[in-house]
A and B are shown apart, each in its own frame.
Chain A
Amino acid sequence: MANKDLLLSLEDLKTHFFSENGLVKAVDGVTFDIERGESVGVVGESGCGKSVTSLSIMQLIRRPRGDIVGGKILFNPEDGSSIDITKLSPGGRQMRSIRGNQISMIFQEPMTSLNPVYTIGNQIMEAVMLHQRSTKKQAKERAVEMLTKVGIPAPLQRVDEYPHQFSGGMRQRAMIAMALSCDPEFLIADEPTTALDVTIEAQILRLMKDIQQDFGVSIMIITHDLGVIAEMAQRVNVMYTGKIVEQAVTDDIYHNAKHPYTQGLLQSIPTIGRKQRLTPIRGSVPNLLTLPSNVCYFAPRCPHAMEICSKQEPPLYEIDEGHTCKCWLYEGSKEVSA
């Protein structure tokens, strides 16, 4: 691979679902890179393909309802090898040894992500023992160690407690402990704080930042909350209807957003002290089943829509170094071959 620091790169990833009503192109040609030790954000409204992207990386798309139909997911772990995840069998040994071990995931709902039947310690031990040859005792020591790392008080007692004895924030901490118990290189956080209240959200985000430094893990954080992105990510991918519409470093997204969709998202965030009404984005996300081909899908909701928008799909333009945008407004800038 050309770039030694590249941990994961998606190349024209296409994940489609075959529903009874027709084909749903949930992820349709997504390309982005994640470097070692970097935090990348993926933002977008509900149903724009954020979660499907993360499930594709984990090979957790349930067949035969959906499948990765095209593109590559190149994973370059520390040992120097390079694996195309899309080529692996989802239930196979190699994929299983990547899941949880090299790539881990934190889910949105801490309330249901832990099995009520087992103690917290038991579930962390499960993760450890799936990947490492260790005795029960060693695994338990590891569980206590991890609980300490994520700031659970009295870990020696807490390790033997059941999920119902944990609060939402504590459960999310336990989930993080579980995800990190095998020292993964890449962590996918799928809306990790959406189900938590704001003060706990701040604690968890702070924890994730600290942990990124301690463990040197790369994080892909998926959210619809631009505030979370500002806190966590160095680079941002904005997704709309299964495609990436804008890619930039976080600062550029906030201060120099180019795509009308990104601008719309930013305008619909309330800020303290602002007196005017919020400007929401008109309309709603279109039904993925009835999308026409070769147009800009945002055109019907776009305040800057032009004639060409509903005739031809815009290419990806490079506006600045590391800042790309998929919009006809920037016609004339350098096109990026996608």
Chain B
Amino acid sequence: MLTNTTLPPEPESPTAETSWEDVGAKSLSQGQLMIRRFRRHKLAMGAIVVLLIFYTVALFAGFFATANPVQRNSAYIYAPPMIPRFIDSEGNFHLRPFVYGLESTVDPDTWDRIYKPDHDEIYPIRFFVETDEYNLLGPINASRRLVGIESENQPLFLFGTDSLGRDVFSRVIHGTRISLSIGLVGVFLSLVLGLLIGGVSGLLSGGVDLVIQRIIEILISIPQIPFWMALSASLPAHWSPIQTYFAITVLLSLLGWTQVARVVRGKFLSLREIDFVSASIAMGANDFWVIVKHLIPNFFSYVLVTITLTIPAMILGETALSFLGIGLRPPVVSWGVLLQQAQNMRTVAMRPWLLVPGIFVIIAVMAFNFVGDGLRDAADPYSSK
């Protein structure tokens, strides 16, 4: 039993009265250290800001859009983008940016519509303009939009219009919802599958591990696009857009979990040999306790990195499937669906603004990759940065 004897303290150490907080040495947890290192990663911080903006836009798409994304304007088919300007054709400076109205004529030879800015019609761009009522989020309706012009007969087309005269800008904004959420939902499914299967593989090892690893290798070696095409072709055509949406996420995560599973398995294998795990078992902990308390907290940062780097693959997968016409289908709006319109050379040559959704795909994918890089550097306790 305990007695009252106390052993001499280590000689070189400060006395008990000295508080470590006074010396300025504050104890930081691994998580806090990781956040601290992440914040020093400028590119990743920038990418985080970009992603935050994207997801805010996705959440309140109606507010940021300038028009109803499905509203057709038969008078403005394939209208070019209206560029906001500060200086008018006479060289006068306007403090408030404005756009010119569009004047359309028909080419007598090709019967194509030709649009020209009408220098007499000046529409100043205003913030929080009053428009028709739209659905903002769930049960909330609103009627003000972030930007717009006050005009009865001239709509605003910041990114031009498509073959039915629909505003590309508003469609891109609304497409953000599906394109960015499919990554998150898909990654969540991948994470669950990966943690479970990878964990089982690493924990049981032996024959189970062998079988699971071979299955993963087979899944990885299947060419993705044909695999997805085959699977999505088997989706019933009468399914509602919501059903198709979930089916596509499941399809994407069917391949996506393999990476997570590999990371989890590897970490399980290396960590279970490590002394603090043996020490915990020697202290009387059971398997469940060891996994939850010692294994998962130690590799979760790596899983976080892996899933951040899996999201862009999901976004690209959705875009590719929808672009090929086998993913989501109109009237659902996603970036991939929008890019379907830019499938032929003629469109690309004459109406380059239809490629704008592609730019957003690139920005989103790059932002996720930068965040993933930043997390990877931050999660590595031995990085010297």
Contact = CB atoms under 8 A, between A and B. Distances in A.
A207 B29 CA distance: 29
B218 interface: no
Question: Max chain A CB contacts within 10 Å: which of B5, B206, B275, B294?
Answer: B275
B10 A152 contact: yes
A303 interface: no
Interface stretch (B67-75, B79-87, B283-291, B330-338): B283-291
B27 A162 contact: yes
A207 B10 contact: no
Contact of A170 (B3, B5, B10, B281): B10
Given A99-B284, A104-B283, A126 B10 contact: no
Contacts of B206: 64
B interface residue count range (under 10 / 10 to 19 / 20 to 34 / 35 or more): 35 or more
Interface in B8-22: 8-10, 13-16, 18-21
A58 B9 contact: no
Interface in A39-74: 58, 60, 64
Contacts of B16: 153-156
A155 B206 CA distance: 44
Interface stretch (A143-151, A221-229, A259-267): A143-151
Given A207-B7, A214-B5, A215-B2, A127 B298 contact: no
Contacts of A158: 20
B2 A157 contact: no
B287 A91 contact: yes
A11 interface: no
A97 interface: yes
A254 to B, nearest CB: 28
B257 to A, nearest CB: 25
Given A126-B280, A175-B279, A149 B2 contact: yes
Given A149-B2, A150-B7, A216-B1, A109 B286 contact: no
A116 B27 CA distance: 12
A320 interface: no
A114 interface: yes
A41 B200 CA distance: 40
Interface residues of A, number: 57
Contact of B284 (A115, A131, A216): A131
Interface string A256-297: 000000000000000000000000000000000000000000
B326 to A, nearest CB: 44
B287 A115 contact: no
A100 B14 contact: no
Contacts of B241: none
Contacts of A162: 27-30
A107 B283 contact: no
B46 interface: no
B27 A60 contact: no
A114 B25 CA distance: 20
A5 interface: no
A301 to B, nearest CB: 32
B1 A100 contact: no
A335 interface: no
Nearest to A105: B282
A178 interface: yes
Interface in B293-326: 293-294, 297-298
A130 interface: yes
A130 B294 CA distance: 14
A91 B294 CA distance: 17
12 contacts: A64-B206, A100-B282, A108-B275, A112-B276, A116-B298, A126-B280, A149-B2, A151-B6, A153-B14, A154-B20, A178-B279, A210-B5
Interface of B: 1-3, 5-10, 13-16, 18-21, 25, 27-30, 206, 274-276, 278-287, 289, 293-294, 297-298, 381
Sort A-B residue pairs by CB-CB distance and give the 8 closest, nearest first. A100-B283, A100-B284, A151-B7, A99-B284, A153-B13, A153-B9, A113-B275, A112-B275
Interface of A: 58, 60, 64, 91, 96-101, 104-105, 107-109, 112-119, 126-127, 130-131, 145, 148-158, 160-162, 165, 169-170, 173, 175, 178-179, 183, 203, 207, 210-211, 214-216
